[in-house]
Amino acid sequence: MTMNELGVEPSPLALLLLGQQRDADSERGTSCPGELPAASDPSLVARARAAKAALGDKVFVLGHHYQRDEVIEFADVTGDSFKLAREAAARPEASYVVFCGVHFMAESADILTGNHQQVVLPDLAAGCSMADMATAEQVAEAWDVLTDVGVADVTVPVSYMNSSAAIKAFTGRHGGTICTSSNAEVAMRWALDKGEKVLFLPDQHLGRNTAVLRLGLRLDDCVVWNPRKPNGGLTDEQIRAAKILLWKGHCSVHGRFSRECVDEVRERVPGVTVLVHPECTHEVVTTADLVGSTEFIIRTIEAAPAGSAWAIGTELNLVSRLAKAHPDKTIVFLDKTVCFCSTMNRIDLPHLVWALESLVDGHVVNRIDVDDDTTHFAKVALDQMLALPGN
Ligand code: 13P
Ligand code: SF4
């Protein structure tokens, strides 16, 4: 196999992602019921343009930074999950919000938009393995244990945006906040001002990296709550002593980067600066030179001088786009093998065309509609995030 200019070896997985098949190891999701245009249809770009033009201001298309180029081209706004949540909330005039991202993002958009607006996810199979790692039942059981141990009253839930609407509603019911990788530090500080402990859901790495590297807590102030074990795998004493209870969840994409990747790229690319997302493990983040959210990664590369060299540890679609947009800089992917988010990649041009043309025909397909009770409490937690200082 030969490496491309990003330093990535093609793999059989990359071919699978381009097709319609399901990857046996990929995130849970439901399949798309639609009659999709063929991916080989040469008129897809023209059809997407025509459908968008026909819909005009009635449609607003949001595109997460990890989406494919062919989809990003049709996004009215691109951003990380924080920026997209704000953008969705700020467009009451759009009847349809087409969310090119994953399921939990579309749920958040539905929660933050008005009843007169409908949110569409072009492929319902675009889930998120991290979000699936915390179910509402598991979190309710954990809260019961914290109640029995006598610490629930002083524990504030902080849930990463990458969680289901049900987990967001749990967070709102219990006086907590949502956070994203852009504002996890301010969210955790707010929670520790309000209570004595944080239950951080569902990404243990973002939680640990924020607590230790941003708030200056010690590693052993944090314990990992394993939902598959009785009492989370902890003693009552460990639960009482901990400041941060980290849910045992992770991102299957960012979790692939290792310390060896960092060592290897430093040998391969002279003078390289290693820049990673905080969903990477603590070991990777502490070995790297810089850590920050998707928006931080983009800003850092935009501000970097010509001739500088960067190895980036985040989703491959974004890294490829940054490399194309900055030919005056050396930009390589931190891993040597392919690392797309397989569910983000499920949104492709055929699905987007199908969703937009269906709207033109008066059919709302793949609507994401969160029930009223869940919406109410999830909105409490999302509004709390939007009200955090500095947002
Ligand atoms: P942000 O969009 O908050 O950077 O999160 C990254 C991610 O994994 C989205 O699924
Ligand atoms: Fe989920 Fe990770 Fe994909 Fe984001 S990149 S959608 S956290 S699996």
Gap from CA of 170 to ligand 2 centroid (Å): 21
**CA of 128, closest atom in ligand 2:** 1
CB 105 within 8 A of CB 126: no
Strand order in the sheet with 309-313: 290-291, 273-276, 309-313, 330-333
| Cα radius of gyration rounded to whole Å, the chain | 21
Within the chain, how many helices (H) and strands (E) appear? 17, 14
**273, 224: one domain:** no
Q: Is residue 15 part of a domain?
A: no
DSSP state for residue 29 in the 8-state scheme: -
**CA of 129, closest atom in ligand 2:** 8
For 14-23, 139-148, 170-179, 369-378, which range has the lowest pLDDT when averaged over its residues? 14-23
Q: How many CB atoms lie within 10 A of CB 155?
A: 23
Which strand (E) or helix (H) includes residue 282? Answer: helix 282-287
Q: Is residue 383 part of a domain?
A: no
**39, 79: one domain:** yes
In this prediction, residues 160-179 reach a mean pLDDT of: 97
Residue at which a domain ends, from 219, 235, 252: 252
**pLDDT tens-digit readout, 136-145:** 999 999 999 9
Q: Is residue 87 part of a domain?
A: yes
Question: Residue 6: its pLDDT value, please?
Answer: 64
Sequence-distant (6+) residues with CB within 8 A of 115 are none
Q: Predicted confidence band at 286 (pLDDT cuts at 50, 70, 90)?
A: very high
Q: Is residue 348 part of a domain?
A: yes
Ligand closest to CA 255: 2
Q: Alpha carbon 370 to chain centroid distance?
A: 19
CATH code of the domain in which 293 resides: 3.40.50.10800
**138, 120: one domain:** no
In this prediction, residues 346-375 reach a mean pLDDT of: 97
Q: What whole-number percentage of the chain has pLDDT above 70?
A: 91
Ligand 2 in reach of 318 Cβ (< 6 A)? no
**41, 71: one domain:** yes
Question: Residue 7: its pLDDT value, please?
Answer: 62
Q: Predicted confidence band at 336 (pLDDT cuts at 50, 70, 90)?
A: confident
Gap from CA of 181 to ligand 1 centroid (Å): 7
**162, 228: one domain:** yes
Q: Predicted confidence band at 30 (pLDDT cuts at 50, 70, 90)?
A: low
Name the amino acid, one letter, at 382.
L
**91, 145: one domain:** no
Say whether pTM exceeds 0.85. Answer: yes
E strands in the chain: 59-64, 77-79, 96-100, 118-120, 155-160, 177-179, 197-201, 222-225, 244-247, 273-276, 290-291, 309-313, 330-333, 367-368
Mapping DSSP to helix (H, G, I), strand (E, B) and coil, where does residue 125 land? Answer: coil
Ligand 2 in reach of 133 Cβ (< 6 A)? no
**pLDDT tens-digit readout, 75-134:** 999 998 888 988 998 999 999 999 999 999 999 999 999 999 999 999 999 999 999 999
**140, 245: one domain:** yes
Question: Residue 4: its pLDDT value, please?
Answer: 58
**CA of 102, closest atom in ligand 2:** 6
Find, among 14, 65, 2, the residue nearest to 301 by Cα.
65
Ligand 1 in reach of 67 Cβ (< 6 A)? no
Q: Is the pLDDT of residue 20 over 70?
A: no
Euclidean distance between CA atoms 357 and 365, whole angstroms: 10
Give strand pairing partners of 224.
246
**120, 136: one domain:** no
Ligand 2 in reach of 80 Cβ (< 6 A)? no
Q: How many CB atoms lie within 10 A of CB 391?
A: 13
Supply the DSSP string of 329-373, one letter for each residue: SEEEESSSB----TTGGG--HHHHHHHHHHHHTT---SEE---HH
Range of the domain at 229: 131-252
Residue at which a domain ends, from 252, 278, 312: 252
CB 102 within 8 A of CB 368: no
Euclidean distance between CA atoms 333 and 102, whole angstroms: 22
Ligand closest to CA 28: 2
**pLDDT tens-digit readout, 208-232:** 999 999 999 999 999 999 999 999 9
**209, 261: one domain:** no
Q: Is residue 9 part of a domain?
A: no
Ligand 2 in reach of 108 Cβ (< 6 A)? no
**pLDDT tens-digit readout, 48-72:** 999 999 999 999 999 999 999 999 9
Euclidean distance between CA atoms 66 and 223, whole angstroms: 30
CA-to-CA separations, 286 to 105, 138, 214, 280, in angstroms, rounded: 29, 31, 12, 10
Sequence-distant (6+) residues with CB within 8 A of 38 are 350
**258, 247: one domain:** no
Q: Is residue 19 part of a domain?
A: no
Q: Predicted confidence band at 298 (pLDDT cuts at 50, 70, 90)?
A: very high
> Which position has the higher pLDDT, 381 or 3?
381
Ligand 2 in reach of 298 Cβ (< 6 A)? no
**154, 107: one domain:** no
CA-to-CA separations, 302 to 21, 36, 75, 113, 187, in angstroms, rounded: 36, 37, 20, 31, 27
Question: How many structural domains compose the chain?
Answer: 3
Residue at which a domain ends, from 226, 252, 278: 252
Q: Is the pLDDT of residue 333 over 80?
A: yes
**81, 159: one domain:** no
Structure tokens at 382: 């999302």
Q: Is residue 379 part of a domain?
A: no
Strands 118-120, 367-368: pairing kind = antiparallel
CB-based burial, 67-94: b 16+ in 10 Å, e otherwise: bbebbbebbbebbbbbbbbebbbebeeb
Gap from CA of 148 to ligand 1 centroid (Å): 34
Gap from CA of 269 to ligand 2 centroid (Å): 27
Q: Is residue 271 part of a domain?
A: yes
